[in-house]
Amino acid sequence: MALALGLFQAHPLKAGEPSRAMPNATEASVFTASAALDLEALETLLATRSARSERVKLSVELAEAEALGARLLPNPVIDGTWGTVPIGTTNPSDLADPLGNVPHYDIGVSYTVPIGKRGPQKARANAAVHAAEADRDDLARSEALELGHVLGRVATVQLRLAGLTDLAAQGQEAIALAEARVQAKFGVPLEVDRLRIEVDRTSQQISRATADLSGLLGDCSLLLVQRCAPFKTPEEAKLFLRRWVELALKAQGDVEQRADLRGLRAREDVADAHLAYAKALAIPDPTVRLGYTYDRFIISGNQMNSLNLSLSIPVPLFDHGQSERRAAGAARERLAQEISRRKRGSAEAIEIFRLQIQTHLTQQQLLEEDLIPRAEEILHALQRAAASGLVPLTDTLQARRTLGELLVEEAENYGAAFEAALALAAEFPSSAVSRPRE
């Protein structure tokens, strides 16, 4: 760990640099990658651009609507009756206007009182809102990590391109020198041909890297729904990779605050509330009814105006919430097991990814401080000797090829360290792998 942090201390961040770089679509039509982008910045950037986020935003709004409904009281029921309608002979048989004097009219209002159920229903709905919000945050985080992966590959390819371009330029200089020596009858055409083959080989590598860069920028554009441009300079690309590795190594956040685990815990709360509701189903909900009766059959001694109050109670003899209790208990148990396994997996993965990063940084230190400087020194010495006619120009071919391989290895090693850092960042909350905001 000391080696890893020491390597970054040798490349401190510049004071006064912006804490985040998120181009506004109204200010620029092209998104340009920047070293100032961290995980939270990418999440904020994607919040207004991602097409997939609209679905989870809708889920949050629907859950909030259900929570609003769970807080409302049940509606009362109004009923009406037209009863004692005479059919056939009336009693007395000479009763005038039977339809007007015999039937009674009844109107009532009833209300079912939920006992022990409203609390669990509200708790379940609120927990469902928290679960939907966690799903929204988890998707934003996943997309930010996906975009981070693309930008890391962009940075890696740019570093590879920079090294190959320098080699190609040096090769062109060597070809010019070789041609001059041939014209001066001091060299042979075979040297020129071998140098040209080497430069053409490097050009092919540059073409492949350029094609890779175009494809990665296309992936970036699909995620952002906006045209993407690479980092402005190779140094900016290298700084982006180093910053992510540095932030990942320093991450010390609470794993349980990660969006996916927050969502699982919210679903645990949903299951707990569902279990409480299922238990409450064993308690019958009484229905109270208040009615008013207007009876026209007063000739028989009936009361013309009367009130009635009734109470009905269902008997939970067969169904008293058994299936709901079983379903809620099973969901609670499985969710608890998933949370436990994810936490154990994260604890193991964090150690593995930290070890991978340290291994890559050790290799990087060896490349930057020893192998590449020595390869450059040998190449420059051979070039000077070849220019003085002490050695053939073709002797520089192997040295240039070795340097090119080391530069490509350096770029790929930066990318591998970044990928390990990205995997490590995925095990922590976003705030743990982002720079403090001013």
In tens, the pLDDT along 383-420 reads 888 777 777 767 777 787 888 888 888 888 999 999 99
Helices 395-425/372-387 angle, 10° precision: 160
pLDDT at position 332: 93
Q: Residue for token digits 């041939």?
A: 182
pLDDT at position 106: 96
Provide, rounded to the nearest whole percent, the portion of the chain with pLDDT above 70: 92
The number of residues in the chain equals 438
Whether the per-residue pLDDT at 8 is higher than 80: the answer is: no
> Which residue ranges form the domains of the chain, and what is each CATH number?
2-72+114-282+320-433 (1.20.1600.10)
User: Would you say 138 and 260 are in contact if contact means Cβ atoms under 8 Å apart?
Assistant: yes
Q: Please tell me which of 171-185, 190-204, 208-222 the model is most confident about, judged by mean pLDDT.
A: 208-222
Residues 6+ apart with CB under 8 A from 401: 198
Measured CA to CA, the distance from residue 100 to residue 295 in angstroms comes to: 10
Measured CA to CA, the distance from residue 130 to residue 128 in angstroms comes to: 5
Give me the residues paired with residue 305 across strands: 294
Least confident of 69-83, 231-245, 371-385: 371-385
Whether the per-residue pLDDT at 1 is higher than 60: the answer is: no
Q: Six-digit token pair at 11?
A: 């490349």
pLDDT at position 122: 95
pLDDT at position 411: 87
pLDDT at position 128: 96
Residues 6+ apart with CB under 8 A from 328: 271, 272, 274, 275, 277, 278
pLDDT band at 423 (very low <50, low <70, confident <90, very high): very high
In tens, the pLDDT along 86-134 reads 888 888 888 888 888 889 999 999 999 999 999 999 999 999 999 999 9
In tens, the pLDDT along 155-169 reads 999 998 988 888 888
Whether the per-residue pLDDT at 3 is higher than 50: the answer is: no
Whether the per-residue pLDDT at 430 is higher than 60: the answer is: yes
Average pLDDT estimate for 215-239:
93
Average pLDDT estimate for 209-230:
93
**Phi and psi for 32 in degrees, rounded to 5?**
-110, 125
pLDDT at position 436: 66
Check residues 407 and 148 and name the one with the higher pLDDT: 148
ω before 92 within 30° of 0 (cis)? yes
Average pLDDT estimate for 201-216:
92
Give me the residues paired with residue 107 across strands: 80, 292
Check residues 433 and 41 and name the one with the higher pLDDT: 41
